Amino acid sequence: MSEYRTGLGWDNHRIAPDRPLILGGIRIPSEFGLEGHSDADVLSHAITDALLGASALGDIGMHFPDTDPQWKGADSLQFLRHVCALIAERGYRIVNVDSTVILEKPKLKEYRIEIRQHLATTMAIELDRVSVKFKTAEKVGPVGEGLSAEAQAIVTLLKTAPRV
């Protein structure tokens, strides 16, 4: 028996000076970064939540509370890696991941391949299963005014192991 599952993830972080801008584990040269308890990797957080959503295993805050000092400044790829292990244990394989980062500046497209490769390696899947897109908010709303960054992700999982 095989079964497809879909999961949705969304995240938002406030822009702050003197913080790194990390997307998919890649540090992007920028005059500002994102505020957060962990490394504030908004893209990795959205993808992690999408995987948890597809497997109905809760959300990122349930597994990695932002009140827990062990996650202060944490590399968010460790959250992603951990959730990949959780879903693999339950017999899920990742079919594909699609995502969008919404950020007014800097331009991100020149980092697309590096971000995709890093995410694919972290999730132990092929590069062509990982898509990362970028959008501005056309100067409208908090993202458009340069106050925050958002990311959205959707994943499809295939469960091949028999249900227990």
Number of residues that bind Mg ion (CB under 5 A): 2
Close Cβ partners of 81 (under 8 Å, ≥ 6 residues apart): 122, 123
From the list ligand C5P, Mg ion, none, pick the one residue 11 interacts with, judged by a Cβ distance below 5 to 8 Å according to partner type.
Mg ion
From the list Mg ion, ligand C5P, none, pick the one residue 19 interacts with, judged by a Cβ distance below 5 to 8 Å according to partner type.
none
Give the H/E segment covering residue 164.
none
Residues 28-57, mask of contacts with Mg ion (x by CB under 5 A): -----------------x------------
103 near ligand C5P, judged by CB under 6 A: yes
> In 82-104, which positions are buried (b, 16+ CB within 10 angstroms) versus exposed (e)?
ebbebbeeebbebeebbbbbbbb
136 near ligand C5P, judged by CB under 6 A: yes
Dihedral, 27, 66, 32, 10 alpha carbons, nearest 10: 80
- Name the site residues for ligand C5P (rule: CB under 6 A): 103, 105, 107-109, 134-136
